[in-house]
Amino acid sequence: MRRFSARSLITVLTVLLPVVVLVSLVIGTVNITISDALNTLLGSATNQQIGTILLDIRLPRILMAIFVGAVLASTGAVMQGLFRNPLADPSLIGVSSGASVGASLMIVTAGGFIQSGALVGLSLVAVGAFVGGFTATLLVYRLATSGIGTSVTTMLLAGIAIAALAGALNSLLSYFSDNDMLRQISLWQMGNLSGASWLKVGIMGSAALLLLICFPRDSRALNALLLGESEARHLGIDVQRVKQRLILLTALGVGISVALAGLVGFVGLIIPHMVRLAIGPDHRWLVPASALAGATLLVIADSLARIVVIPAELPTGILTALLGAPFFVVLLLQQRKDV
């Protein structure tokens, strides 16, 4: 794949994202003109219905897509650097599988109360998913940590084991579920942004801002880790502390995104892999470029999810898998030819 200038790619993505957002604002079950959308955003809406559609439904959903996409893609770039594997993704540390168990447990046990406010207006499903994801990550980290430090190889194996255990627990919970609970579990696991609200946007935006402030500070450490842990230590990097910080931030960001939007696959795997092929492995550019590309991709996928089966909607996670998996296979085949 041809290499591009990192600055050029970031510039293109910075220009492309607002264009994609504007297009997403005006398409849907109710088509809205660009002038009406801009007037509404500028506070001079003349149609109350259009104002409600844009400000209460579409804009929160688009902002959620931006923040979730940015978090998943940037954490994917960080995990690929930490594991020194371009095919790694954030789910390797157990957060997604743990969140799935937490959400399923709440759906099965809480019954009709799952949509009641459990914490600052969030549903019990979201709270359960976050707690489950964070608990699974802590367990994986504890299994991989000994007196001599944290082994990324052991962490990978522990993540696989926890994912297998989570799959078994999910199957057990599904076995004891009725039809309505099974449908809710399935829909949550598909990933969906239709439940976006300004409260969720605020929480997700805060998490994205925290990660995008903290991750660039470890860019030098991630670049050094690409040479190997011993080499990184010789360069003055506190490898153990860097691992702890990056795993904690990844668990926090992905845990919140999964709790609020469900399981949205492939974004954390494909986007940083593609960006790395385009501009190289320097994390000073890789992380922000991945965040911008992830945000753009998820806005596009969510926009398509809203219009491909009008008047119904497809879960966003299905679109990311349908768009991402074939493209990733083509990318791997192209790489094989270039070897």
Burial class (CB in 10 A: 0-12, 13-18, 19+), 160: middle
* Rounded to 5°, angle at Cα 280 from 91 and 265: 25
Q: What is the pLDDT of residues 150-179, one digit of tens each?
A: 888 888 889 889 999 999 999 999 888 888
Residue with tokens 């991945």: 290
Q: What is the pLDDT of residues 247-288, one digit of tens each?
A: 999 999 999 999 899 889 889 888 998 899 889 889 999 999
What pLDDT does 9 receive? 92
Domain spanning 6-338: which CATH class is it, in words?
Answer: mainly alpha
Contact present, 137 and 255 (Cβ < 8 Å): yes
pLDDT digits (tens, 9 = 90+) for 314-335: 888 888 888 777 877 877 777 6
User: Rounded to whole angstroms, how far apart are CA atoms 283 and 84?
Assistant: 12
Q: Span 17-25, mean pLDDT?
A: 94
pLDDT tens digits along 202-236: 999 999 999 999 999 999 999 999 888 889 889 88
Q: Is the pTM of this model over 0.75?
A: yes
